[in-house]
Amino acid sequence: MSICPEVAAPEPVFAEPWHAQVFALTVHLNEAGRFSWADWVERFSATLKRHGLSRELDGGEDYFRAWLETLEMFLAEQGAASRAEAEVMRSRWEEAYLSTPHGAPVKL
Amino acid sequence: MPGSSCDVQSEAAAPMFCGWTQALGAGQSFFMPHDHHDDHPHALLPPDPALRVKALETILTEKGLIDPAALEEIIDTYQNRIGPQNGARVVARAWSDPDFKAALLADADPVLAELGLYGRQGEHMVVVENTAQQHNMVVCTLCSCYPWPLLGIPPGWYKSDAYRARAVREPRKVLAEFGVTLPESCAVRVWDSTAEVRYLVLPARPEGSESLGEEELAALVTRDSMIGTGLAKVPGEALA
């Protein structure tokens, strides 16, 4: 597989808004002292390694999925956001989207 | 030389993924919401990971562990204010000012701190110079460590398994795919970034740039030339 990207318009810094959000959330938590960056890197690289066992990661969407999974596990472990809490809150957001009229701001 | 590096002749950092056969870990499901059409009465449902990120944000905000305004600030910084233009300024200055270059190569941190190009993921920087004898190339085999204050957020390919494994194993082949062919007499050295040490390649000043000022020189410095997967543009070369 060739690594070299097609020469085209410059790629956006973040392909999806949630990539930017999960990135910012992690940086902010690190700076707020919730964890050291070295600890983050250790966990994140372990997730990438695990994901990369069965397929080749392209560094795009799959990269941020690994990032999110790492952050969820880390926060659950720290007790800052348990798996159950995260699942309940995710469902609340999903319901909010599905019950908000198109075009209106989505709130919990 | 400070920090970790790997000589391309060595086998030390061969592909880190081979020999592993375990199945995928948990959390690999790919949630696909049903198709949404414009005539739907409700707001468009974001993809599963976006909802999961929102969930974390809400929980942490409610607990007072994060400040949503700080998140916006971080996104704005990396989306709009920090990028390879920062590194390009440093390179152009190094090409123009021998004393600055000597100081930068000897100990980059105080030099970059003075320019305000310091902080977040740029705490310990090492600048490596390309010469006729040695071409430098940067990778992070671990994940995607990268000098944010100088180059911003890494491109997708830098984070890909393909680059992370192959940059070490077959750097010349990878360089060729980026359109860079070096004479055999030029050694290729690959620098493996870590959470502690980040690298910036100081590309060779292109031929024909002798009369240019710093600003014009900075325009020749591409992101890839500072990762080592490209060379600086020569004056007059069309903007890619």
pLDDT at B158 over 50: yes
Q: In A, which residues are within 8 Å of B53 by CB distance?
A: 18, 21-22, 25, 68
- Check whether residue B88 and residue B182 sit in a common domain: yes
Same domain, B67 and B132: no
Does any domain span residue A32? yes
Question: Active-site residue numbers of B?
Answer: 140, 143-145
Q: In this structure, are B72 and B133 located in the same domain?
A: no
Domain annotation covers residue A7: no
Classify strands B125-129 and B198-202 as parallel, antiparallel or unpaired. Answer: parallel
Residue B25 in domain = no
> Burial letters for A11-33: b for 16+ Cβ neighbours within 10 Å, e otherwise?
eebbebebbbbbbbbbbbbbeee
Partner-chain contact A2 B177, CB within 8 Å: yes
Cβ–Cβ below 8 Å for A59 and B74: no
Q: In this structure, are residues B166 and B8 in contact, taking their beta carbons and an 8 Å threshold?
A: no
pLDDT exceeds cutoff 60 at A7: no
- Per-residue pLDDT for B2 more than 90? no
How many distinct structural domains can be found in chain A? 1
pLDDT in tens, B85-114: 999 999 999 999 999 999 999 999 999 999
ipTM confidence score: 0.91
Residues B164 and B198 in one domain: yes
Q: What percent of chain B has pLDDT over 70?
A: 82
Average pLDDT of span B134-155: 94
The confidence score (pLDDT) of residue A4 equals: 52
pLDDT band at B15 (very low <50, low <70, confident <90, very high): very low
Q: Does A76 touch chain B (CB under 8 A)?
A: no
Q: What is the pLDDT of residue B122?
A: 78
Which residues, including other chains, have CB under 8 Å from residue B198's CB and lie 6 or more apart? Answer: B121, B122, B124, B125, B126, B145, B146, B147
Residues B90, B112: one domain?
yes
B174, B74: one domain: no
pLDDT level of residue B123 (50, 70, 90 thresholds):
confident
Domain membership of residue A60 as a residue range = 17-82
Encoded amino acid at B78, one letter: Y
pLDDT above 50 for A13: yes
> Same domain for B90 and B147?
yes
Domain containing residue B122: 84-227
Structure tokens at B167: 């940059």
Planar angle of CA B33, B36, B37, nearest 5 degrees? 170
User: Which pLDDT band holds residue B120 (cuts at 50, 70, 90)?
Assistant: confident
Does residue A58 fall inside a structural domain? yes
